[in-house]
A and B are shown apart, each in its own frame.
Chain A
């Protein structure tokens, strides 16, 4: 976790979360790959994907019985970038600044593969939340946790259609949002956002500065209008 930003030193220790981390690392044992704690913010746990079901069960037994959400992250950097190489976007980056280089880091608690499973659970007794992650292998397969959290049903369906991740044991992995004949997985980074490719994004205009030659012209126009109304210069 060397390259991660260090939490601020001034904050007091977050004892609740530290105790929780110790407790969960004991009960998870081998399953836990990595963990990361930001005091007074959140706790991230990365578990082995083969034991995903066990890990979720352990968390649930530890009191995290309130289901938040389940999704995934695609850590791949999009081949098209953020479609910012248009003339409009040029104004966004200040001249004396290097353009942002997206690093290949994979977030808190690390990650080794392109796709990472993401899940959030609450504990009502502890009044804490925990975020579970798991690196997905090449086959993008993981066990379903529908039996533990019935609410995960739809979240797994959504993750399946958006990322193409297969949840073994889920009976109805049909698309939730997209039409049945839709091909591809829209939230993958290599899925092109066609609208943006066809038409450049005009949304940055509002912070573009007025060019110098126009600025003088505008000022002259304003002054002319002011004088025409009979005002004093």
Chain B
């Protein structure tokens, strides 16, 4: 299994580094370069200790923990509704999507099911936070390769989506809106039409990104063939989300393991790309953002009427049991393994975050690349630091 991937990796290294051989002959010394924890490309406080030979990376080791907040321990001393406040802050760019799997796990343990209307609105907000999250990635990837303009477009257009989320939930980044058994509130009047017009704008934004970056020769030169992750490596490292699909694996939890949201009632498709390089990861996310706007359009058409809250007791006690629920979050598979002992709060919560697995591939994929490629690979793997450190 590893033989093929190692060979691919070696071919990549030798193709990239024509001058490495000269360096070996001259017996140059190594240099350790600390990329981060304060570095514009690490979106927070990730640190990558890279051993360099010239500009070529010999070994790269991510060092994290600068933002470890111990959420798994803190969840153990909180009640279930209080946990969502913490969980919001794991992936802070797509925060509503964080709450959903945890709430679903608690609902499964309690045997409660949210009414259809709540499930639909959950799905809409879930996809909106995906658009908000991924649109920032689409612009930010431009900054990583040196183009400043896309990120400003991204900030401009993400604002519209955040406004829509804010109108429903009252919070731009930490909505804390999902409840066990349903939602806190219904959607406001006129919101559906506004959201529809925002979706049109987001599709224009995707077209702009396609023009500015995907079609750009320099962007392609920087990203194509860089940071190739073959399919078996992606599976072994447990990559998820667009990183997995960019390696040619057709796997999307929304379609393949839907935990009860409205994804199976609308018409959409999963995008994959066979290359597994940085460009493929960007391309897949671009298509996913566009697909998500179409999904929101369909979802807005079919919101069922009815209550938004199931009957749940005022003080929530979850019966003993265990449940693992994961959903396809903007960054990838986010799952909560909740162990309950019939108490007010969970006994143990294991938070399986996408970025943790996605970044664990870094030492493997960064052997032999150049320093600028470190940045594009990190950018294209797309992590949120709160999502790694938890």
Contacts and interface: CB of A to CB of B under 8 A. Distances in A.
Interface of A: 5, 8, 41-42, 44, 65-69, 71, 73-74, 78, 82-83, 92, 94, 100, 102-103, 105, 107-108, 118, 120, 122, 124, 127, 129, 131, 148-151, 153-154, 162, 175-179, 186-187, 191, 193, 196, 201, 203-204, 207
Most chain B beta-carbon contacts within 10 A, residue among A108, A122, A151 = A151
A154 B319 contact: no
B322 A150 contact: no
B40 interface: no
A69 B235 contact: no
A100 to B, nearest CB: 5
A68 to B, nearest CB: 6
B320 A103 contact: yes
| Centre residue among B70, B236, B361 by max chain A CB count within 10 A | B236
Given A44-B322, A69-B350, A187-B72, A94 B315 contact: yes
A69 B337 CA distance: 10
B311 interface: no
Given A82-B77, A203-B78, A69 B236 contact: no
Contacts, number: 131
The 6 tightest CB contacts between A and B, nearest first, are: A67-B238, A177-B65, A151-B237, A151-B238, A177-B68, A69-B352
B365 to A, nearest CB: 11
Interface in B75-114: 76-79, 82, 108, 111
B303 interface: no
B324 A193 contact: no
Contacts of A176: 64-65
23 contacts: A41-B108, A68-B335, A69-B352, A71-B350, A73-B348, A78-B76, A82-B345, A83-B77, A100-B317, A102-B347, A105-B320, A120-B337, A124-B249, A149-B236, A150-B361, A151-B237, A151-B357, A176-B64, A191-B73, A193-B74, A196-B77, A204-B79, A207-B315
